Amino acid sequence: MNTSVCERCDSSINVTIIYVDEIPVTYCKVCKMSLFSKKRSVGRPSIGITKKVSLTLTKDDWEQFDAQAKSNRSLFLRKIIVKALNEEDSSENR
C-alpha cells in the first residue's frame, strides 16, 4: 500500500481500509462516519450494489482514462462519481 488517500474525498487523514459488504474501501474517518450514519438513514445506498454500465469513448479518451485510472477503472470511476454526486448534493443545499 503506497498511497493512503480516502477514495471518497481524497483526504489523507486517518485513512484505513474497511470492508463494506465485502468490498474493501479506503476511507478516512469522516467518510466512515458518514457511511455508517447513512446506512441507518433513508437515502441512496452506499457501496454494495454492482451494476454494469457500457461506456463509449474515443480511443484517445480511453487512453487518457486508463492512464489516470491506473489499472483500476472501477475505483477511478467511483471516485469521480461520488465526488460529482457530493457536489450536486451541496449545490442543491445552497
Query: Under the rule (CB under 5 A), what is the footprint of Zn ion?
Result: 6, 8-9, 11, 28, 31
Minimum distance, C-beta of residue 31 to Zn ion, in the bound complex (Å):
3
Of 44, 26, 46, the C-alpha closest to 35 is 46
Minimum distance, C-beta of residue 82 to Zn ion, in the bound complex (Å):
10
Strands 16-20 and 23-27: antiparallel
Beta strands in the chain (DSSP E): 16-20, 23-27
Nearest residue (CB) to Zn ion, 43 versus 56: 43
Nearest residue (CB) to Zn ion, 4 versus 11: 11
